[in-house]
Amino acid sequence: MTQSTRSFADIRNALLAGEEVALVDVREEAPFAEAHPLFAANIPLSKLELEVLSRIPRRDTAITLYDNGEGLVQPALARLADLGYSDVKALEGGLQGWREAGGELFIDVNVPSKAFGELVEHHRHTPSLAAEDVKQLLDSKADVVVLDARRFDEYQTMSIPTGVSVPGAELVLRARELAPDPKTRIIVNCAGRTRSIIGTQSLVNAGLPNPICALRNGTIGWLLAGQTLDHGQARRFPAVSDKTLAIARADARNVADKAGVKRGKRNDLHAWQAETTRTTYLFDVRTPEEFEAGHLPGARSTPGGQLVQETDHYASVRGARIALADDDGVRANMSASWLAQLGWEVFVLDDLRRQDFSEKGPWNAPTPTPWQVEEISADTLRHWQQHGSVAVLDFTTSANYVKQHIPGAWWTLRADLSSALRKIPAAEQYVLTCGSSKLARLAVPEVEALTGKPVFLLKDGTASWIDAGLALESGETHLASPRIDRYRRPYEGTDAPREAMQAYLDWEFGLVKQLARDGTHGFNVI
């Protein structure tokens, strides 16, 4: 009889041997963030089919699933089998089994990257300044530039006064243009610690002559110091000159070489993609706008700073091969330098030509062939709501639902369907929606099986209702499931309690010791 589980020891030994490991937590993000192994990838059962094909592309990858006794693993095993995955097993004893076997458990999300950032600061003593000191420099009109290493949308939500948006992978490419005088002090910030540490150390590693430091503890540290953030700013990095580009390219290549980044060509990529025994990820680390204007066929848009910050979300098979593409020789090399230090086998594609970036438009996740279901228009749904017994189930994220939804619609977690339907008044027919209808479509046969009633899909999702100019509702008006689909980060938004922010910083400070206890990370700080 074939063994249907893998043990903690099996996973640990595979990690230490550098084998491909896909350890998948099928719970929602909030419970995942409460406790999980270091290299667990969170792919919730609710949206498994929409995410797994890009995150675990090879169908015979050794996949191990776990939950914490919620009963999610068995349906996940069945769904992955339907998608053609052939080597999927359950973790022996689930999360509790991992704990009882002596496995280290981590809280929060994107933990490998955050723990690595703390290790970098620990080994390199990355320079930093307290919020009070940075404010004093700004108030005195000192020769300082503040570079915000987060995504542009995060920067727009809240930013340090005078700060310019320069997402992480752009820093080495752009910093000399923004601070051409070597006496100008460069201060790098993010919301907490990781991206400011990595961003600052990127500039140090690249050999910029300026005094460089991180804003200690980011915007959290700024708020804890009683200082005020800006909101809605739109300062972005400028284009770079040929001279700046040439210097940055040489700097980035030096850093990549020191980190052990490997070199690849187009022919290598084609050979890797044809391999059946090894996973290869192809990531484009430029800005989303550049990606949409033209990219390599099959590449995924992963702006480099976010790729280093959220590696587990994009490359969910630990031990896989990663190939990076850009069109400047800076951003791929700098991103790769960090991935190599994070323990990945990473290649930069060196011989790319303009014509290779032939595919246009945004990245679209590969998804299974959609169910054929009966669709209705927004006008039809409105008519049914006025004249009959119809229940609307909304499978979008809870944050989107709270922001705006169809009046009377029930917010529902797909993995929680049977429980949710007990809270929703029985109806003669059901209409399912989400932002675009992709996730809702997957739930149609499940709702049919549970209710025995006709189930329809709102064509093009709630977006079609909004486009039709129909009335909307907001707030937690009809929650059929608990809002556990997303973990609220303590550095998110503008209303986080001081205690939560401080606790988050304290947790980050403790990650180096946790890494040592775990012993599987394979990180190597240059």
Query: Could you read off the pLDDT of 86-133 as tens digits, one per residue?
Result: 999 999 999 999 999 999 999 999 999 989 999 999 999 999 999 999
Instruction: Return all residues near 19 (Cβ < 8 A) that are at least 6 apart.
Output: 62, 319
Rounded to 10°, the helix 331-341/194-205 angle is 110
pLDDT digits (tens, 9 = 90+) for 338-381: 999 999 999 999 999 999 999 999 999 998 888 889 999 999 99
Mean pLDDT, the chain, integer: 94
CB 487 within 8 A of CB 500: no
Cα–Cα distance for residue pair 357/296, rounded to 1 Å: 5
- Give mean pLDDT, residues 261-269: 97
Residue whose entry in the numeric block shows the structure tokens 């009633």: 453
Which among 56, 82, 231 has a CA at the least distance from the CA of 156? 231
Instruction: Please determine, for residue 324, whether its predicted confidence score (pLDDT) is greater than 50.
Output: yes
Predicted local confidence at residue 188, as pLDDT: 96
Instruction: Please determine, for residue 497, whether its predicted confidence score (pLDDT) is greater than 80.
Output: no
pTM above 0.75, yes or no: yes
pLDDT digits (tens, 9 = 90+) for 182-209: 999 999 999 888 899 999 999 999 999 9
- Give mean pLDDT, residues 235-247: 94
pLDDT digits (tens, 9 = 90+) for 441-451: 999 999 999 99
pLDDT digits (tens, 9 = 90+) for 22-81: 999 999 999 999 999 999 999 999 999 999 999 999 999 999 999 999 999 999 999 999
DSSP string, 288-355: HHHHHH-B-TT-EE--HHHHHHSHHHH--SBT-EEEEE-SSSSHHHHHHHHHHHTT-EEEEE----GG
- pLDDT tier, 1 (very low <50, low <70, confident <90, very high otherwise): very low
Cα–Cα distance for residue pair 401/232, rounded to 1 Å: 23
pLDDT digits (tens, 9 = 90+) for 133-159: 999 999 999 999 999 999 999 999 999
- What is the DSSP pairing of strand 321-325 with strand 410-411? unpaired
Strands ordered across the beta sheet of 262-264: 262-264, 345-349, 321-325, 280-284, 300-301
